[in-house]
Amino acid sequence: MKNKCADCGNCCRKTEMILSSRDVNRIKNSAPKNLLITSFVRKTEDGLYQLKNKNGYCVFFDVKTKLCKIYAIKPQGCSFYPLIYDSDKKYCVLDYDCPRPELFYPNKNSRVKVCQKIVRFLEKEVFSTKL
């Protein structure tokens, strides 16, 4: 299967994607000039940046084509998906809202390597720069 995400979009439904300030700036500086940060970012109770939803989907998800409008500059967390960090359990898990997670991470070794990247991303780019 060439496109693992073909005809899906489950990951963009009711997203709770956390953004780093680098994600926010990259999107803001690469997207249309009139894009306001407040149109795609909300602040969580914990002071973190989070992608906004519109009509139940990420604001950058095109419901008709089932594609990301900013795929080339998507947030880092979207690149890790469907591997996510469970902050309660303190380890990474596959999100089974994705119907094909094994296509992204076919074995434990691949999950462990990316989980280490997720933890570094969260420590260095998200939690160290809270609003």
Q: Is residue 80 part of a domain?
A: yes
Alpha-carbon torsion (109, 87, 14, 60), positive or negative: negative
Provide CB contacts within 8 A for 35, sequence distance 6+. Answer: 27, 28
Q: Is residue 96 part of a domain?
A: yes
Confidence of residue 129 (pLDDT cuts 50, 70, 90): low
Q: Is residue 3 part of a domain?
A: no
Q: Given a cut of 60, is residue 131 above it in pLDDT?
A: no
By residue range, what is the domain housing residue 48?
10-129
Q: pLDDT digit string (tens) for 49-87? A: 999 999 999 999 999 998 999 999 999 999 999 999 998
Q: Is residue 67 part of a domain?
A: yes
Q: pLDDT digit string (tens) for 15-26? A: 999 999 999 999
Provide CB contacts within 8 A for 63, sequence distance 6+. Answer: 9, 55, 57
Q: Is residue 38 part of a domain?
A: yes
Provide CB contacts within 8 A for 97, sequence distance 6+. Answer: 10, 11, 13, 82
- For the entire predicted model, the pTM comes to 0.86
**Which one, of 64, 24, 62, lies nearest residue 40 by Cα?**
24
Q: Is residue 61 part of a domain?
A: yes
Q: Is residue 45 part of a domain?
A: yes
Q: Is residue 2 part of a domain?
A: no
Confidence of residue 1 (pLDDT cuts 50, 70, 90): very low
What is residue 130's predicted lDDT score, i.e. its pLDDT?
55
Distance (Å, rounded) from C-alpha 87 to C-alpha 38?
Answer: 26
Number of domains in the chain: 1
